[in-house]
């Protein structure tokens, strides 16, 4: 049975999409969201940093979001009589528009152009609407967990949701880049232990990707093929399957850092074949379970899916997963101090080759558990 998708709306008009596992035990019925909600907040505003040309979204509506609620008040759990959560029904995987988005629809002028055609210009005190979309991706109905704690079937459903949402968001007017990610652990700043990730659809190409595009111009359109060839021949490979290779990068910035590349050129998750998605689900799960096996407690991380922009560099920028963790010992974290935070010049604490050896041993340990 295929992974099915069912769309509905929440009480305030936000979109909610259920993705049912291929082996789901759930029926097709879904409850209606009968909450009485305040109107959606106005769209945030972006301000440009004239020193860099970068845009900063000032989303003050996020200041009062839920912080580490008890299990019976989890806003990502299925609704119950005592818990008026965001999701009316039981589910396998659920995706919905964030209630407190950093980027959202222009609710005041829904039919008017957002005026974002000059974002590349630079000037003093320039502002624009933070037009875009922010979605929450719930990996499971349980209160605690992560991607790595899901079954292979559920992991495949999440990947399917990422791929379909990347495709849909890329078609939205004004969207220039789609970013899929998971923040895991309070050390990263996570405010909900519920297993979930997010998707941001930006009205601009992000600074990190803009830098990458300059590297492509300097090295050539085969940059990612050359990276993959170099890493596959080196000592930092962690795991390799028919369609993907995972490795610690040559110039790793973080105490724990994993990159993953597809073997063929594909610009984003939406471009993966069914066979590639089937291959990716157990591999990605295995990598994260290995990360957790290094120490006696779960490892905090940011899992970032770097995708090609919607309208630029799609023949050269390849889909890449980058998982980074600040954990440099069982009880120690790497904090971004002066050189990293102020100047963006990282100093690595661990040799990447040593990282790779530790991670390979942890992955093997997790495989045996």
User: Mind giving me the DSSP string for 64-100?
Assistant: G---S--GGG-TTSBPBTTB--SB-S--SEEEEE-SS
pLDDT number for residue 326: 94
Quick one: 44 exposed, middle or buried, by C-beta within 10 A (0-12, 13-18, 19+)? buried
Domains of the chain: 4-204 (3.30.428.10), 209-368 (3.30.428.10)
Three-state SS annotation for 181-246: EEEECHHHCCCCCCCEEEEEEECCCCHHHHHHHHHHHHHCCCHHHHHHHHHHCCCCEEEECCCEEE
Query: How open is the CA angle 187-192-193, to the nearest 5 degrees?
Result: 75
The rounded distance, in Å, linking the Cα atoms of 321 and 15 is: 27
State residue 62's pLDDT score: 66
Q: What is the per-residue pLDDT for 204?
A: 96
Active-site pick, 196, 243, 259, 265? 196
Per-residue pLDDT of the chain in tens (369 residues, 90 and over written 9): 699 999 999 999 999 999 999 999 999 999 999 999 999 988 999 999 999 999 999 988 765 667 778 989 999 999 999 999 999 999 999 999 999 899 999 887 766 666 788 999 999 999 999 999 999 999 999 999 999 999 999 999 999 999 999 999 999 999 999 999 999 999 998 889 999 999 999 999 999 999 999 999 999 999 999 999 999 999 999 999 999 999 999 999 999 999 999 999 999 999 999 999 999 999 999 999 999 999 999 999 999 999 999 999 999 999 999 999 999 999 999 998 999 999 999 999 899 999 999 999 999 999 998
Q: Is residue 263 among the annotated active site residues?
A: no
Phi, psi of 62 (to 5 degrees): -80, -10
- The whole model's pTM is what? 0.96
């Amino acid at each position: 049975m295929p992974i099915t998708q069912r769309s509905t709306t929440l009480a305030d008009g936000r979109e909610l999409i259920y993705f049912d596992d291929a082996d789901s035990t759930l029926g097709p019925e879904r409850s209606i969201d009968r909450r009485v909600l305040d109107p959606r907040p106005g769209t945030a505003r972006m301000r440009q940093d004239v020193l860099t040309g970068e845009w900063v979204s000032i989303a003050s509506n996020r200041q009062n979001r839920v912080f580490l609620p008890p299990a019976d008040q989890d806003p990502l759990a299925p609704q119950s009589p005592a818990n008026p959560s965001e999701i009316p029904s039981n589910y396998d995987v659920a995706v919905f528009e964030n209630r407190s988005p950093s980027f959202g629809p222009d609710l005041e002028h829904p039919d008017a152009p957002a005026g974002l055609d000059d974002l590349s210009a630079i000037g003093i005190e320039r502002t624009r609407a933070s037009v875009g979309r922010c979605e929450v991706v719930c990996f499971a109905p349980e209160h605690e967990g992560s991607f790595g704690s899901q079954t292979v079937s559920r992991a495949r459903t999440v990947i399917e949701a990422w791929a379909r949402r990347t495709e849909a968001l890329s078609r939205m007017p004004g969207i220039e880049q789609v970013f899929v990610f998971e923040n895991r652990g309070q050390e990263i700043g996570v405010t909900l232990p519920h297993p979930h990730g997010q998707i941001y659809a930006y009205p601009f190409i992000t600074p990190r990707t803009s830098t990458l595009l300059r590297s492509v111009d300097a090295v050539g359109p085969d940059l990612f093929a050359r990276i993959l060839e170099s890493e596959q021949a080196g000592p930092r490979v962690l795991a390799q399957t028919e369609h993907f290779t995972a490795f610690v990068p040559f110039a790793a910035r973080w105490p724990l850092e994993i990159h993953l590349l597809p073997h063929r050129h594909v610009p984003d998750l939406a471009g993966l074949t069914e066979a590639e998605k089937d291959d990716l689900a157990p591999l990605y799960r295995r990598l994260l379970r290995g990360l957790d096996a290094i120490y006696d407690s779960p490892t905090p991380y940011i899992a970032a899916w770097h995708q090609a922009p919607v309208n630029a560099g799609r023949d050269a920028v390849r889909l890449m997963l980058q998982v980074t963790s600040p954990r440099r010992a069982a009880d120690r974290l790497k904090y971004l101090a002066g050189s990293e935070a102020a100047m963006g010049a990282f100093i690595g604490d661990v040799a990447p080759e040593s990282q790779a050896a530790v991670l390979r041993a942890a992955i093997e340990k997790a495989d045996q558990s």
